Amino acid sequence: MQGAESLILMLIIFGIMYFLLIRPQQKKLKDHQAMVAALRRGDRVVTQGGILGKVTAVNEAEKEVEVEIATGVKVRVVRATIATVLTKTEPAQ
């Protein structure tokens, strides 16, 4: 009986860990991937480094976006490093 009780306790602990830690992280990752996939020109973004800018070009093939951080100053960043989209632009008709 001692082995069965230990096994049940371990399964309960794993279930709690899954619902409190693993599942929310997976949901957060999925949401971030969807946000990055929906980036388009004109969106105002914040990079993980804290740089604010406006997306001026999206390069689908290389997984990069060009962000204008000041007038005439453009940097290329990897799409996955976009932390937040501040304002979305409406799609062109």
Q: How far apart are CA 19 and CA 7, in angstroms?
A: 19
- Residues 57-86: pLDDT tens digits? 998 888 899 999 999 999 999 999 999 999
**Mean pLDDT confidence for 35-42:** 90
- Which two structure tokens, joined as six digits, stand for 48? 């993980």
DSSP 72: T
- Checking if the pLDDT of 36 tops 70, the result is yes
> How confident is the model at residue 88, as a pLDDT?
83
Q: 33 by DSSP, 3-state: which?
A: helix
pTM: 0.73
Q: Domains (ranges, CATH) in the chain? A: 2-87 (2.30.30.140)
pLDDT of 15 reads 92
Q: In Å, what is the CA distance from 15 to each residue of 8, 11, 23, 32, 80?
A: 11, 6, 10, 25, 30
